[in-house]
Amino acid sequence: MKDTTNLLLAGVGGQGIILAGDLVAELALDAEYDVKKSEVHGMAQRGGAVVSHVRLGRKVHSPVIVEGEATHLVAFEQMEALRWIHMLSPGGPLIVNEQRIIPSGLTAYPEGIRDAIAARCPQAVFVDGAGVAKRAGNIRAVNIVLLGTLSRYLDFEITQWERAIRRRVPERWVDVNLRAFQIARSNGA
């Protein structure tokens, strides 16, 4: 499906990936796209790798994105960028949160991850998600920061994003999240 946008959101259980995927999927449905979103629950949640597939287009059949066909890859953690990098279509936008989470079984973070990402994908954009989220007023808004950066590569209006954020984020955190989104979207990250 050449007219399909394939967003792959990857990270570690507990980083707000599933909510971020839901938010984009609902935004796309509002904009009258056909949408499918898929992820796996269960064992994956206990600190394991989590990946959410969001596909939107005129007509979408498969709920999963396959190797080399992700049009956009958003990694919530550095090593997770590398884990899924082969899914990205050549030259597609790669957004990488600078956070590093040591995988279970290791006692220290592997060396050279950032260089390996840059070597394979020179177009990678590194985002200080925690820094921007903190500036906006809540460190937990990292997932919205990353969506703000992603929004620069997608054809949705700011009002559509705002509506989607308002619907998905608890009311008392809406302002902080809108601020986080705005900073990232306007290239403050």
Partner 1 sequence: MVLLSGNEAVARGAYEHGVRVAAAYPGTPSTEILENIAEYDEIDAQWSTNEKVAFEVALGAAFGGARSLVAMKHVGLNVAADPLFSSAHTGVVGGFVVVSADDPGMHSSQNEQDNRWYAKFAKLPLLEPSDSQEALDFLGEALDLSEKFGLPVLFRMSTRICHSRTPVEIGTRRQIEVNPYEKDIGRRLLIPAHARKRHLRLEEKLVALRREAEQSPLNGIEEGAGTIGIVTSGIAYQYAREAVPEASLLKLGFSYPFPESLVRSFAAGFDRLYVVEENEPFLEEQIAALGIPVVGKERIPRCGELDQRIVREAITGEKVEATPASTAPRPPVLCPGCPHRGFFHLVNKMHLTATGDIGCYTLGALPPLNAMDTCVCMGASIGNALGLEKAQGSAFARKTVAVIGDSTFLHSGITGLVDVVYNGGTVTIVILDNRVTAMTGHQEHPGTGRTLKGKSAPKVEYAVLARALGVRCVHEVDAYDINAISEALKTGTEAEEPAVVIVRGDCILRVRDRWGPALVVDEETCTACGLCLRLGCPALSKGAEDKAVISPALCVGDVCGICAQVCPKECIGVGGGGEGR
What is the binding site for partner 1 (CB under 8 A)?
1, 12-13, 22, 25-26, 29, 34-49, 61-64, 66-69, 79-80, 82-83, 85-87, 102-108, 110, 116, 120
Cα distance between residue 7 and residue 24, in whole Å: 9
> In which residue are the tokens 């509002």 written?
30
- Distance of closest approach, residue 21 Cβ to partner 1, in angstroms: 9
Q: Distances from the Cα of 91 to the Cαs of 38, 71, 86, 87, in angstroms? A: 24, 9, 11, 12
> In which residue are the tokens 């500036």 written?
135
Q: Which is nearer to partner 1, 11 or 185 (CB)?
A: 11
Note whether 189 and 183 are within 8 A (CB): yes
Q: Which is nearer to partner 1, 80 or 97 (CB)?
A: 80
Q: Which is nearer to partner 1, 38 or 182 (CB)?
A: 38
Q: Which is nearer to partner 1, 121 or 132 (CB)?
A: 121
Note whether 31 and 23 are within 8 A (CB): no
- Distance of closest approach, residue 187 Cβ to partner 1, in angstroms: 28
Q: Which is nearer to partner 1, 48 or 137 (CB)?
A: 48
Q: Which residue type occupies 143?
A: N
With H, G, I as helix, E, B as strand and everything else as coil, classify residue 109. coil
Q: Which residue type occupies 162?
A: E
Q: Which is nearer to partner 1, 55 or 179 (CB)?
A: 55
Cα distance between residue 86 and residue 47, in whole Å: 22
- Distance of closest approach, residue 87 Cβ to partner 1, in angstroms: 7
DSSP 126-137: EE-HHHHHHHHT
- Distance of closest approach, residue 127 Cβ to partner 1, in angstroms: 19
- Distance of closest approach, residue 42 Cβ to partner 1, in angstroms: 3
Which two tokens mark 76? 């919530």
- Distance of closest approach, residue 108 Cβ to partner 1, in angstroms: 5
